[in-house]
Amino acid sequence: MKQRKLTPRFIIILIILLVTGYYLYPTFRFNKLNRDEEKIAHQISERMGVPYSYVIENIYKDESILRDKLDTLKNISDEDKKAALELLNQAQGDLREKVLRARKRAIKRGLDLQGGMHLVLEVDLVQLMRNLARQRDARLEGILAKIDAELIRDPQADFDEVVVRHFNEENLKLSQYFGEAGESNATVLAYMSKQADDAINRSLEILRNRIDQFGVSEPSIQKQGSRRILLELPGIEDPSRARDLIGRTALLEFKLVTEPEKAQQFLTDLDKLFAARTTEVDTTEKGDEFQVFDEESAAASDTGDTGAAQPAEENEDILDLSAELVDTGAAAVEDTSAELFKSEAAPFTSLLRGFRGDIAVPSENVSKVRAMLADPEVEKILPDGTQVLWSAKPEIAGDGNEYYLLYLVKRDPELTGSALSDARVDISSGGNRPGSAGQPIISLTLNRTGARKFARVTGANIKKRLAIVLDDKIYMAPVIRSKIPNGRAIIEGSASVEEANDIAIVLRAGALPTSVIIEEERTVGPSLGRDSIRKGTTSAIAGMILVVIFMVVYYGASGLIANVALLMNILLIFGGLAFFGAMGIGATLSLPGIAGIILTIGMAVDANVLIFERIREELDTGKTVWHAISAGYDRAFTTILDANVTTLIAALVLLQFGSGPIKGFAVTLAIGIVSSLFTAIIVTRLIFDYITSRRTLTRLSI
């Protein structure tokens, strides 16, 4: 009869173990496939001669990117091309599907184990109010400053209540600055609330787009409260890069560079302005006036003799923003050198150099030049409708020094980022610039409206320069050689694939509707994450070994039964994490979670200690082994259940109201409590019943 009662319990435990194995298998599978994926990516990188990071970035983004690139490569052998194609077929075929399926169902690790960033961002609603205001004055700025100060002191304060109270204190209606004149506070508040919600939702979407394109695996982006956004970015190795990517506004503009004569006259006027303030310098006795653009340069510009660069061989209609860069004057020095201006006496131009026909500022003079250009009088002598912009990054001359370029451009853009439909990173095959082969480039594609405007602008300004301006920094200023009808362009000059990819991401995702403030930031490096895993695993194994030894020494053969249940308990905990993760509930293994597992190890054998002590008491009364075991389990059950239920309640409270590390601890603790109850009471009892059903025991090792 006892044997028949064992069968259902054996079946139940077997089913539970099979289900556990089913949910744990993808984790082991994913780790193996991930290693295979990295190995293939390295092989593709070596065969194609492109950076490994470029392969990882594009291997799953679009199957055609690497294949198209392979077709354009001229400097690799047919054998390498064939091998690379086979590897691509392997990586983008079954392996891709297997990796994605396994990743989705594998145990998810927290930031503290795999490395990454935890960010809490707050959408700056006060700045949004400034943007929405019809007019700004000192009184409004004072009110907004008070609102901002109160929100900083009390982040949980209701935004609408704070705004209304401060405006009432000043006896002002909101409609004086916001909405339509004469509207009630309620109407204006409804309008502002709608704009605030829209700003937060747009910020969420834009941040999600940027992070997704950043290549983060399984990021967490959630709205927290009314003004905050929670970001968890696993696997981030460069926090400053991610921080910059999140906060950038990305205003893309295409602006025409003014004529050389106008720029030359502006430099002359600047010298006159600052020379008039310098009593030591007699401006009437200056030497030759410095010129960036001489008569030959102007003639070249007029006749269109701007160099011999040819259109890119991939597509003659593509505007190659680097290939089109040409010397605009005979006064320009060689590409790898910088030339000292001739006039040492001129207060402004003596700080400048000539570089490829452009105005260059040595890095040591940048602060002086910026201060001079910030002079209010400079604005008065600027040619109408123009502005001065700096290059985004320095140029390295033949002498090894860094030089920043200055441009005089038209203030109003010809096109903006709204005309852009796509921007992606590619690797240059060289084209008409063999030296650029293998370098990262950004391929721009304009939408239909933008393409029409671009065609009109390029057609009307042939032989003029068009500056590519991102956030008031000029990245390129190529010469327009011909009308570009199809709205495609290339930006070269990025120092790395990562830099090019960051620019492309921001261009694609667009601008944030208002600024975001980083309220909280925690960063864990990958090496620290691996170290955490190693130390956590070592602690768990050491604790388990000590518990196993103690149970065997103190309880003999019965201790071995408890140890079997302990091992099964750990297996069930990981199976539970995999199950809830696959169900989308969000169970994640973190460092506090490992602490929860270690705690559960002690709690699991604690239940068996209570049971074994009860069995000893029953044996001391003279009962048989079978009856002592039965009575021991019955008498200990209530105590064990009460202790574990109270702990489970605490774990559920932490799970509901905790966040971050606290939640990770609560998840594993809750799963561990349930599994330890099952293994300590059901599994060990089944083993005892099985042993006693096989033969009659006169004594028990306990």
- Centroid of chain to Cα 609: 49
- Cα–Cα distance between 157 and 467 in angstroms, integer? 46
Model pLDDT, residue 16: 93
Burial class of residue 287 in the structure, from the number of CB atoms within 10 Å of its CB (0-12 exposed, 13-18 middle, 19+ buried): exposed
Give residue 19's pLDDT. 92
**CA 142 to CA 568: how far, in whole Å?**
65
Which two tokens mark 262? 């106008």
The dotted CATH code for 116-249+517-522 is 3.30.70.3400
Query: What global pTM score does this model have?
Result: 0.53
> In the prediction, which pLDDT does 584 show?
64
What pairing do the DSSP bridges indicate for beta strands 488-491 and 319-320? parallel
Residues near 110 by beta carbon (within 8 Å), at least 6 away in sequence: 234, 588, 589, 590, 591, 593, 664
Residue 643 in tokens: 């202790």
In the numeric block, which tokens belong to residue 632? 């021991």
Residues in the chain, overall count:
702
Q: What is the dihedral of CA 433, 500, 209, 529, to 10 degrees?
A: 140
Query: How far from 347 is each of 265, 280, 292, 372, 550, CA to CA, in Å?
Result: 15, 11, 16, 10, 85
DSSP class of residue 678 equals I
Q: Where are the domains of the chain?
A: 27-106, 116-249+517-522, 283-370+379-496, 525-694
The 10 Å Cβ neighbour count of residue 530 is 13
d(CA 636, CA 685): 12
Separation of alpha carbons 393 and 474, rounded Å:
8
With CA atoms as reference, report the closest residue to 524 among 665, 668, 661: 661
Q: How far is CA 249 from CA 413, 446, 511, 604, in A?
A: 17, 19, 5, 53
**Distance between CA atoms of 97 and 2, rounded to whole angstroms?**
49
Q: Please check whether residue 260 is in contact with residue 297, taking contact to mean a CB–CB distance below 8 angstroms.
A: yes
The pLDDT value given to residue 20: 92
Euclidean distance between the first and the last CA atom of the chain, given in angstroms as a whole number = 26
Give the mean pLDDT per block of 10 residues along the chain (702 residues).
68 92 89 86 87 75 73 82 86 77 79 78 84 84 90 82 90 87 86 80 73 66 79 73 69 87 90 74 41 40 32 38 34 38 68 87 86 84 92 81 92 84 78 68 86 90 87 81 82 72 67 73 68 79 88 89 91 89 72 83 85 89 88 89 90 79 81 90 90 81 82
Element (H, E) at 589: strand 588-589
Tokens, residue 532: 């955490």
Torsion of CA 521, 522, 527, 528, to 10 degrees: 160
**Measuring CA to CA, how many Å separate 566 from each of 226, 252, 678?**
45, 60, 11
Cα 670 to the center of its chain, rounded Å: 32
Given a contact cutoff of 8 angstroms between Cβ atoms, the answer to whether 76 and 47 are in contact is yes
Measure CA 324 to chain center.
33
Instruction: For 96-132, give the DSSP string.
Output: HHHHHHHHHHSPEEPHHHH-EEEEEEEE-HHHHHHHH
In sign, the C-alpha dihedral spanning 562, 567, 571, 573 is positive
Cβ-proximal residues to 189 (8 Å cutoff; 6+ apart), any chain? 160, 163, 164, 174
What's the rounded Cα separation, in Å, for the pair 153 and 78? 66
- Our separate counts of H helices and E strands in the chain read 23, 20
Amino acid 233 reads: L
* pLDDT value for 325: 33
pLDDT for the residue 143: 92
Dist. CA 444–CA 507, nearest whole Å: 9
The single-letter DSSP state of residue 309 is P
Question: DSSP readout, 33-70?
Answer: HHHHHHHHHHHHHHHHT--HHHHHHHTTT-HHHHHHHH
Q: How far apart are CA 143 and CA 151, in angstroms?
A: 12
Q: For domain 525-694, give the CATH number.
A: 1.20.1640.10
- Give the Cα separation of 247 and 240 in Å (integer): 11
Smallest Cα–Cα separation from 95: which of 33, 27, 25? 33
